[in-house]
Amino acid sequence: MYKDGDMMSLLDCVKINTKIHKEIIHEDLDFSIKKGEIVSLMGRSGSGKTSFANILLGFMKINSGSVLWKGKKLDINQVKSRIGFQPQNGALLADKTVLENVAMPLRYVANFDWDLSFELAMNKILLTGLTEKDFCKYPHMLSGGMIKRVSLARAMSIDPELLILDEPLSGLDAISSKQFENLIWSLSHSTSVICITHNFIKSHKYYILENKKILQLKEEEIKESEYVKF
């Protein structure tokens, strides 16, 4: 639960139960992430990982239990600017440039004017390892790894306290995966990160969703499990 200090709890899920059309998706889920932590959430396809992310993003309601933000009931309307999300496929707007895509949350969520939005977006793009030459490119001109970086820059643009990354390493080769994993770790000094993943990502904590339940495992247990790819 929430405590003052360097490693205070940012988000807690307590005994969450969810159903979709009477089908139980989650049963008595407990989950916690502290400030500055990287947490991996793993499990088979269809195990409820995406539904869990949708709960945190306010797209799906729980039937019972509690979701707490810094010890208080989560009100997504109050904290939506504190949560960044990177979809699995990047979900970039095809008719917008890299710079325009990253600037969108700054303009329409943070309500900055376009000049400031573009200035801040440039900084976030450069942080991901892309260059000024990439600012005016369109999504169809980007490699898979570049799309991941642009999508991450957009998720980071509003300086969220929590980042939710959906399959951040999928479709990347070994070198790109390692570079992206290093990039994720570079964010953890200021941001908590939840990685919904089938790939092994070095993390502070590891959770497995299985049979509607959630389990916390040690790193060595994760590496030996059937759920992880290297």
What's the total number of domains in the chain? 1
Helix (H, G, I), strand (E, B) or coil at 152: helix
Range of the domain at 139: 9-223
8-state DSSP, 199: B
Residue 119, amino acid: E
pLDDT in tens, 160-203: 999 999 988 887 888 888 888 888 898 877 899 999 988 889 99
Q: Residue 228 falls within a domain, yes or no?
A: no
Give the pLDDT confidence score for residue 227 in this predicted structure: 64
**30, 13 in Cβ contact below 8 A?**
yes
Q: Residue 19 falls within a domain, yes or no?
A: yes
Q: Residue 52 falls within a domain, yes or no?
A: yes
pLDDT in tens, 204-217: 999 998 888 898 98
**Residue 3 reports pLDDT greater than 70:** no
pTM of this structure: 0.87
Residue 165 tokens, joined: 């990354």
pLDDT in tens, 139-152: 999 988 899 889 99
The CATH number given to whatever domain includes residue 86 is 3.40.50.300
CA–CA separation, 89 vs 163, rounded Å? 16
Q: Residue 163 falls within a domain, yes or no?
A: yes
pLDDT in tens, 79-100: 877 899 998 877 899 999 999 9
